[in-house]
Amino acid sequence: MKVIKKIHNNIALAIDNNNNELIVFGKGVGFKAVPYEITDLNVIERTFYDVDSSLVNQLSEIPEEIFDVSVKIVDLARNRLSKNYNPNTAFTLADHINFAIEREKKNIRISNPLSYDIQLLYEDEYEIGTQSVDFLQKSLSVKLPKEEATNIALHLINAEMKASPDKADIKINTITEKITQIINEDFQLSIEKDTFNYSRFVKHLQYLLKRQESGKIFSSDNSKMFDSIRSQYPEAYNCSLNVKSYLESSEIGMTISNEELLYLIIHINRLCFRETI
């Protein structure tokens, strides 16, 4: 097995003997100069195949300890719930947790109106989410709000492998394509769809659609935060208004609150400018 790219000291991108790419976890696998051959396979603790190539370049931005916790959460869910998850789940969940920690450090707190529904309809996933929040506090000394249990549960629900796309999948694909077109036109660019930031943006739209279908709308007293982000990122804000107009049109029929708009501004800005909020 040959290591071809360092991600962290203990995480690397490699090629196996069949020329398949995989991500390997193991003590010191990313420490040596690349490329190099791993002669002692006993150093490899975990392997992940079929990880989206768009994720690889962004993984080095996420602290290694968050990966470790994320992998353990997905293992817990897989063993407890007997579910099959997308190969990217541990990595997209790590990104979600990292983003949640960034928001918490900056006192950006947004309630999740789906919390009650998730507790009732997905009791097992919600329990995993609750345990994950406790585990994060013990492992990383990070205290996230209890609402984060809902967000982690939603992440696991959306990551479950499906045999074929359903109507909801087709709808989100159509909406995503239209919103991507709006952003391209507003910023006079062509968004690369094989990037980590785009995958993150699509995941947010999936959450948004689920909330809308359930009749739940984000709404909280975050007016100061909204005004601050709107002033700081005017181009992303103006674009988000165009996205809002589309989503609230008779064709789609959604209702977008300022809370939802805040999230859209954040994701549009990250997508177009690769800045961190």
Residue spans of the domains in the chain: they are 2-49, 64-159, 167-273
pLDDT tens track for 169-190: 667 788 999 999 999 999 999 9
Query: CA-CA distance, 6 to 262, in Å (whole number)?
Result: 35
The verdict on pTM exceeding 0.85 is no
pLDDT tens track for 208-250: 877 777 666 655 566 788 888 999 999 999 999 999 999 999 8
Backbone angles phi, psi at 224, to 5 degrees: -65, -45
Residue 277 is predicted with a pLDDT of 46
Q: Does domain 64-159 have CATH number 1.10.1790.10?
A: yes
pLDDT tens track for 101-152: 998 988 887 777 677 778 877 889 999 999 999 999 999 999 999 889 999 9
Q: Do domains 64-159 and 167-273 have the same CATH topology?
A: yes
Q: Which CATH superfamily is domain 167-273 in?
A: PRD domain (1.10.1790.10)
Q: Which CATH superfamily is domain 2-49 in?
A: CAT RNA-binding domain (2.30.24.10)
